[in-house]
Chain A
Amino acid sequence: MDGTVVRAERLTKRYADRLAVDSVSLTVRPGEVFGFLGPNGAGKTTTLRMLLGLIRPSGGRASVLGARPGSPAVLARVGALVEGPGFYPYLSGRDNLRVLSRYRGLSDRAADAALDRVGLGPRGGDRFRSYSLGMKQRLGVAAALLGDPDLLVLDEPTNGLDPAGMADMRRLLVDVAAGGQTVLLSSHLLAEVQEICNRVGVIAEGRLVAEGTVADLRGADALLLRAHPLDRALAVAMQLAGDDAVEVADAGLRLDAEASLVPRLVRELVADGVDVLEVRAAERSLEEVFFQMTGPDPGGPPSAPTAQEVS
């Protein structure tokens, strides 16, 4: 398995004249929560379907747990929720999981345990069609958890959940990862990915535009300084951080420097008679990075089809 749980190489899916997924390459390592991030329609679900063997790639190749995606031996070790939960509407949540337990060769107890794990135990006897969107989503995650698979593939698992439900789901995913299971999670919610994912792949218009840790994608640290007078502050900052590391931005200065520089910077500025109004770490949110990569402004949409490996 060469230390990877999922390896995709130039994975491509073409529908008639539309390229849904274009040469996506990514790796998911054991025990990590990998976030697959992209706007709606970017190709996330199509990629996940290929990794589960539900659809055939038009090009490229992939391996999951060291074998061909969708092969029975692999699927026995994978739990998945792809593009919304698919269940028999006339069956109760519990019976739906019992049907799937039979398909997996598990006992009814496994179904009950999965139901309890997502907090649906008390409503397990109700028909699936009477569930709210959030309950349906939780049942989908319960189905994915059946049999404690080595890899969980979850497509937008917090869809339809209220804020409390989303928080519960995040806790559950972190808990799952802490138990050693690998999670491949697609989402268009940046905060979610930022909070629970070790590494992230960003996809836009079918192409993977970046892959790396959240910190990598955010880029190097920077400091924002507001001070008066600005020209003297600029001189001091350039002296400390270097001429090329300082730029004027938003009625202040932006320094490409680490937070450890702050005490010395403030001392020097005060000693030079500069009034320091504000100094703070200017950490780019994943959202800013994301929109820069996928948005219509300069820097996006991605013009280069090759993935940018930033880790």
Chain B
Amino acid sequence: MTALIRSTRGELLRLYRWPALWVLAATWLTLNVVFGYVFDYIAYRTGDSAGPNTGVPGEELLAGVLPDAVPAVLVQGMPMFGGAILMILGALAAGSGYGWGTWKTVLTQGPSRPAAVGGTVMALATVVLGVVLGTAAVDLGVSNALALAESRPVDLPPAGELLEAVSVGLLVLGMWTTAGMLLGSLARSPALAVGLGLVWALVVENLLRGVSGLLGGLAVVTDHLPGTAAGSLVGALGASGQSGGAPGVLTILPGTTALAALATYFVAFTAATLLLIRRRDLA
């Protein structure tokens, strides 16, 4: 336990001072604000019917950027974009250590391999928690500012809904982060892991869903893939995945099934990374 805490402290320090982490976090927050608030609010203000919001009534657009909608806005970008960004972080955190030789250095400091991997998982979990809470705080701030500007009630969404959204966000981003860790550990290189992971998350799963009807039984597999499960869990929370909604939000799996699938992936990716590093020669 002591070794796990020590490893977590070491890993947290080096992650905290890593510019790549802040660049990724800032990218995600910017995307979240731009696609969650800026475009919708501009469409509402200008009454412009072009773009993805075609046909959406103005009042509905405004409701989507007010505090009551924060739980849905918080998670709607996570299955695809937020997940992809955190997957990059996981892949960089695990994969860079091979090129830099830092896995070798860390493993000669005393922690067992499970403790060292556990420390990385704990530190990344802390980052994910920070990202989700930070996103919630930014979304609450922006939505209340817009409410103020539009003379609508400045308020908080129901605590239960917000808590539910934060929990879903943690699981979705956590799953993608551990997926990145596994890829980084398999590839022993950040570049290959990030490339493969992005192609999978942004392209391959969508293509597979498109062709799932061609082969009997294929749909069962494609319905339970990581991105589909993440999208379904977010969809089950009420985020909009239809026209005008965020890409990656789906209604394929029921919420509980999606939750179970995500939890299974999270555990499986973490365990696989652990097994891989535990047995591996660090040459």
The interface of chain A, by Cβ under 8 A from chain B, is 49, 52-56, 70, 72, 75-76, 78, 80, 82-91, 95, 98-105, 143, 146
Can you add 5 more A-B contacts, CB < 8 Å, to A70-B107, A75-B108?
Answer: A52-B108, A82-B108, A86-B101, A87-B105, A95-B13
Cβ-defined contact, B13 with A72, below 8 A: no
In the complex, chain B residues 96-144 whose Cβ is within 8 Å of any chain A Cβ: 100-112, 115, 119
Cβ-defined contact, A99 with B13, below 8 A: yes
The answer to whether the Cβ of B282 comes within 8 Å of any Cβ in the partner chain is: yes
Cβ-defined contact, A99 with B6, below 8 A: no
For chain A, what secondary structure do more than half of its interface residues adopt (helix, strand, loop), or is it mixed? loop
Q: Kindly state the separation between the CA atoms of A104 and B14 in the bound complex, as whole angstroms.
A: 15
Q: Kindly state the separation between the CA atoms of A98 and B109 in the bound complex, as whole angstroms.
A: 12
Q: Kindly state the separation between the CA atoms of A52 and B18 in the bound complex, as whole angstroms.
A: 28
Q: A73's closest neighbor in chain B, by CB?
A: B110
Cβ-defined contact, A85 with B109, below 8 A: no
Chosen A-B contacts, 18 in total, with CB atoms closer than 8 Å, are A55-B282, A56-B281, A72-B111, A75-B108, A75-B110, A82-B108, A84-B101, A86-B101, A86-B102, A86-B105, A87-B100, A88-B100, A90-B18, A91-B14, A91-B17, A100-B109, A103-B110, A104-B109
Cβ-defined contact, A103 with B100, below 8 A: no
> Please, which residues of chain B bring their CB within 8 A of the CB of A143?
105
Q: B98's closest neighbor in chain A, by CB?
A: A86
The interface of chain B, by Cβ under 8 A from chain A, is 2-3, 6-7, 9-11, 13-14, 17-20, 100-112, 115, 119, 281-283
A72-B3, A86-B105 are known contacts. Are A102 and B9 too (CB-CB below 8 A)? Answer: yes
> Please, which residues of chain B bring their CB within 8 A of the CB of A70?
107
Q: Kindly state the separation between the CA atoms of A89 and B2 in the bound complex, as whole angstroms.
A: 27
Q: Kindly state the separation between the CA atoms of A86 and B2 in the bound complex, as whole angstroms.
A: 24
> Please, which residues of chain A bring their CB within 8 A of the CB of B7?
103
Cβ-defined contact, A85 with B101, below 8 A: yes
Cβ-defined contact, A54 with B104, below 8 A: yes
Shortest C-beta distance, B1 to chain A (Å), equals 12
A56-B281, A84-B101 are known contacts. Are A98 and B110 too (CB-CB below 8 A)? Answer: no
Q: Kindly state the separation between the CA atoms of A80 and B17 in the bound complex, as whole angstroms.
A: 24
Cβ-defined contact, B282 with A105, below 8 A: no
Q: A82's closest neighbor in chain B, by CB?
A: B104
> Please, which residues of chain A bring their CB within 8 A of the CB of B281?
54-56
> Please, which residues of chain A bring their CB within 8 A of the CB of B283?
49, 54-55
Q: B119's closest neighbor in chain A, by CB?
A: A103
Shortest C-beta distance, B89 to chain A (Å), equals 14
Q: Kindly state the separation between the CA atoms of A88 and B105 in the bound complex, as whole angstroms.
A: 10
Q: Kindly state the separation between the CA atoms of A100 and B6 in the bound complex, as whole angstroms.
A: 9
Cβ-defined contact, B6 with A104, below 8 A: yes
Q: Kindly state the separation between the CA atoms of A99 and B10 in the bound complex, as whole angstroms.
A: 5
